[in-house]
Amino acid sequence: MIIIDLIRNEEGKIYAKLSYEPQKNYLLMKWIGFCSEEEVKLASMKMYEWQKREGLKKGCKFHVHDTKEIEGAWAGLVDWISNYFFPLNYEYGLRYNLSIISPDLFSKLSSIELQKRNNVKVTTVLCETISQAEAWLTKRYAELSR
């Protein structure tokens, strides 16, 4: 796993960690603690910048969001993600969004709402663990390469 960025809030506390997994070719955002909607947008745009700069060249089709440690709802961002963030990234090769769902009820409900939107360009898949997400994307890569 290659760490790309540690994203900090105004107090200097890390609330998101952006990494790239070259063996399985996916971008991972690990969300930590509470973050505001603006902080989520800021960190998410770092994913977009990487996807635009590196993802297309590498054939990266998968973004994984580990929300196991996030606190609170981000339901207010579902429209922004579906209608703005996904289409931007789609232009540079993103096809699948895998969300590792949080035990936090409000965050979990936000993930479920995002999946229900069923974005035409970027499919959201809900997983319980990183290993489950990796198994899913490995299988999907094999299907895509046939």
What pLDDT, on the 0 to 100 scale, is given for residue 12?
A: 95
Query: Which stretch of 36-45, 88-97, 117-126 has the lowest confidence by average pLDDT?
Result: 117-126
Q: How confident is the model at residue 103 (pLDDT cuts 50, 70, 90)?
A: confident
What pLDDT, on the 0 to 100 scale, is given for residue 124?
A: 85
- Of 41, 28, 42, 40, the closest CA to residue 70 belongs to 40
| Mean pLDDT value across residues 95-117 | 74
Model confidence over 74-89: pLDDT tens digits?
A: 667 888 888 899 999 9
Per the structure block, which two tokens stand in for 21? 């997994």
Q: Which residues are registered as beta bridge partners of 98?
A: 64, 125
| Mean pLDDT value across residues 108-116 | 68
Q: How confident is the model at residue 123 (pLDDT cuts 50, 70, 90)?
A: confident
Would the pLDDT of 101 be above 70? yes
In one-letter notation, the amino acid at residue 24 is K
* Distance from C-alpha of 127 to C-alpha of 65, rounded to nearest angstrom: 10
Q: How confident is the model at residue 102 (pLDDT cuts 50, 70, 90)?
A: confident
Alpha helices in the chain (DSSP H): 37-50, 56-58, 78-80, 86-90, 105-117, 130-144
